Chains A and B, each alone.
Chain A
Amino acid sequence: MTSADGSRHSAALATHPDPADPTPTPGGRLPRRPGPLTVASVVLLLPLAVLAVTTDRFLTLDNARAILASAAFVGITAIGATLVMIVGSAVSLAVSQTATVVAMVFLVTQHLGLLPAVLVALVCGVVLTAVQGAAVGYWDANPIVLTIAAGFAVGAAATWFSGGTPVYPASDAFVVFNRTLLGLPLSVYALLAVTVLAHWLLRRTTAGRQMYLVGENRAAARAAGLPVGRVTVLAWAFFGGCIAVTGIFLASFNTAATVTLGGTLTLDAIAAVLVGGTAIAGGRGSALQTLGGALLISVISDVLLLRGYSTGMQILVKGLLVLVVVIAVHLRTTRGWR
C-alpha cells in the first residue's frame, strides 16, 4: 500500500488508540479495575497453568514440540483469518474447502516441479479468497452468506475435479515439507514466519493500520476517503495465502488429498482467532494474540490428552473456552465505548 493514503489520514491514525491494546486508557490513566478480559484470562490461565505443571510429561521437550506441531496447521490459517476479522469481514466459512482445493492443486501439479507447484497452489488460494474479499470490500456482500455459498461452490468443484476419489501426486518431491529442523516440523517455522509477516503488515504498514480503521467503522472509513475495497481485498488475499500454505502442508503430511482433507479447519481457525481476543466485529486484535490463541487451544488439548480425557472432552473444553473469551471481549468492547 502506498503512503499517499496513509499521509492523508496520518492525524487520525496518530490519535487512534493502539488497536491491539485490550483496554482503552482515556487520558493515559491506568484502569481502576481489571477488565473482563483480564479477569477471564486469570480465571482461565491460572488453573490451566497449575493443571499443566502437575501433569506427568507436560514439561518435556518432546511435549513442547508436539504442542507447537499440533498448533501449526490451524495457526497458519488463523493468522490469516485475523486480518479478515480485523478489517471487519467477520469470518470465512469456506476455509476447509479452499485448503482442500489448494492441496489437490499442489499434488496434481507436482510433475511441474516443486517450486512451480507451490506457486500455483499459492496463486490458487490467493485468487479464490481475494475474489470473495472483493465482493465484501467493494460490494458490501455479507461475508457469512458469501463464504457459505463459496464453500459449497469450492467444495463441489473439488468433488467434481477429483471425482470424489483421492488425488495422488506424480512425484514425491513434496516430502521436503515434512522435514524437521532442530527437531521441529517446517510447518512450525512457517507459522512463526506468517505471524511475523502479519504482525509487520498490521503494525508497520499503512495498509495494516487502515485495516483497523476500516474494521472499526466502515462507513466512517469510506467517508474519510480510505480505500475500503482495496484494504479489504488485501486482507483477504493475505488470508488466501495463509490458507494455501496450510493446504500445501496438509497435502504433504497426508501424501494424498481427499475432499474431506480440510476437516474442521474452518471452525478451528475461527476458534483460535477468537480465543486470541480479536473482536469479531472488527477493528481490534493482533497476529500475536492469535498465535497465543492457537497455542492456548493446543496446550489445553494436550493437557487433557495427557490426563487421559477423550477427544470429545477436548472439543467441549475448546467450545467453552471460545464462549468465555467471546463474552469477555464483548463486555470489554461495550464497556470501552461507554
Chain B
Amino acid sequence: MLRTGTIRVGLTAGALGLTLLATACGDGAGAPPGEGTGSSLAGKTIALVGYGNSNPWGAYFNKVYGEELASTGVKINDMTTMDPGTQVQKFNQAVAQKPDLIALSILDTQAMVVPIQKAKAAGVPVLAFDGPPDPSVADDVMSVLSDNEKLGEYAAQNIIEGLQAQGRDSGKIIVLTGTKSMLVTQDRMKGFNRVLAGAPQYQVVDEQDANWDPQLSGTIAQQLFAKHGRDGVQAAFGMADYMALPIIQAAKQAGIPVGGKDGLIVTGGNCFKAGIDSIRAGEMYGTATEDPGTIAKQTADYTVRFLTGQNPPQREVIEEGRVTAATLDQFAEQCSKV
C-alpha cells in the first residue's frame, strides 16, 4: 500500500510534469503572429498590454488584432490581464524591454499615469486603444478610442424613440452603469444625460453602479423594480448588452411586460450576439456598437501606419453605430462576433 507521503510526492511530481507539458504544448499561443512571413514589420516588437482573454471583449480583440498583424511579421508579446495592479507591473516590464510600441487598454486610469510618464521618459511609444488615458497624460500617448459619449447618446436616443413610439408623454428610467470610476462610464453618462436633457418628460429615477457585472445587474434590477413598482419604470439602460439582458429577465420575473406596445423599453451597449437576438425577438429595443472587432481592425491599421513611419494623427476615434430593429441587418454580423 502506498504511504500518504509517497502519494503527495507523486501528486506534486505529476502536477509539475503536467505544467511542463502544458507549457510545451501551449507554446504556440505565444508564438508571434505571422512569423516567417517576412513582410515589412519583421523584427519589430509590440507589447500588447491589453484586456485579458478571460474577458469576452478582450478575447475577441486580441484574436482579431493578432490576425490582422499576422501577415506583417511583427512580433506581439502577450502581456494581457484583467487585473489593474498586474497591468501596471506588466506595463513597467514592457517599458524595460523597450519594444517598438506598447498597445495599451487602460484598466485603471489613475494608476497608469506614472507608468505612461515613465514610458515617455524612456522613449517607448504608447498606443492606447478603446478607453482614453487620464487627461494629464493624454498628450503623451497615441490613441484609437471608442466614442463613448456617442454611445451614451445612442442609448438615450433609443429610449426616447422607444417611449415615443409607445405614445408615452412621460416616463421613468433606471440606469445600470459600468464601474463609475472609469472614464468610459463617465463619458457615456455625459452623452446619455446630454441627450436626455432635451426630453425632460423622460426622467432618470435611479442610477446604480453595476460594475459591468451581469449577476449584480440582475439583482439590482430586481430590487429597483420592487422599489418603483410595476408601473413605476418605463425604460432601462444597461450599459452593456450582458447587463441589459438580466434587466429583461428581472422584469419578466417581476411580471413587467418587456418591449411591444406598452412594455419596458430596454437598451444596451457593447453589442453582442445575445443582444442582437433579443432585439430580433422584440424584447430589447436597441443597443450600440463598440464591438471589439472594429476597434481591433482600426488599432491594427494604426499600428502598421505608425511602425512603417506614416505618421498617423495622434488621436483617432472609432465611428460608432446605433442599433435598433430598423438597423439590425446593417449591424447584425458586426455585433455577432462575440
Contacts and interface: CB of A to CB of B under 8 A. Distances in A.
A70 B53 CA distance: 29
| Count class of interface residues, chain A | 35 or more
A62 B226 contact: yes
Given A57-B227, A178-B249, A264 B58 contact: no
B274 A305 contact: no
Interface in B203-218: 208-211, 213-216, 218
Contacts of B211: 311
A264 B213 contact: yes
A294 to B, nearest CB: 12
A73 B41 CA distance: 51
B224 interface: yes
A189 interface: no
B55 A260 contact: yes
A188 to B, nearest CB: 10
A336 interface: no
A259 B55 contact: yes
Contacts of B58: 164
Contacts of B60: 164-165
Interface stretch (B160-168, B251-259, B303-311, B324-332): B251-259
Contacts of A67: 223, 226
Given A69-B222, A165-B338, A311-B211, A264 B216 contact: yes
Given A57-B227, A60-B226, A159 B208 contact: no
A166 B56 contact: yes
A260 B54 contact: yes
A291 B226 CA distance: 21
Given A165-B60, A305-B208, A311-B210, A178 B215 contact: no
Contact of A166 (B11, B249, B274): B274
Contacts of A60: 226, 229
A264 B7 CA distance: 34
Nearest to B82: A260
A152 to B, nearest CB: 11
A259 B278 CA distance: 21
B246 interface: yes
A311 B227 contact: no
A155 to B, nearest CB: 7
Contacts of A63: 223, 226-227
Nearest to A256: B274
Interface stretch (A14-22, A195-203, A247-255): A247-255
Given A70-B219, A178-B252, A159 B54 contact: yes
A171 interface: no
A311 B208 contact: yes
Contacts of B172: none
Contacts of A259: 54-56
A66 interface: yes
Interface in A172-198: 178, 180, 183, 185
A312 B177 CA distance: 13
A265 B59 contact: no
Interface string B231-255: 0000000000010011001101111
Contacts of B56: 164-166, 258-260
19 contacts: A57-B226, A62-B254, A69-B222, A139-B4, A159-B59, A164-B58, A166-B338, A168-B273, A178-B253, A254-B245, A256-B274, A259-B54, A260-B55, A260-B213, A263-B213, A302-B226, A305-B224, A310-B208, A311-B211
Given A70-B222, A139-B4, A178-B249, 8 more contacts: A62-B229, A63-B227, A70-B223, A155-B54, A263-B214, A264-B213, A310-B208, A311-B210
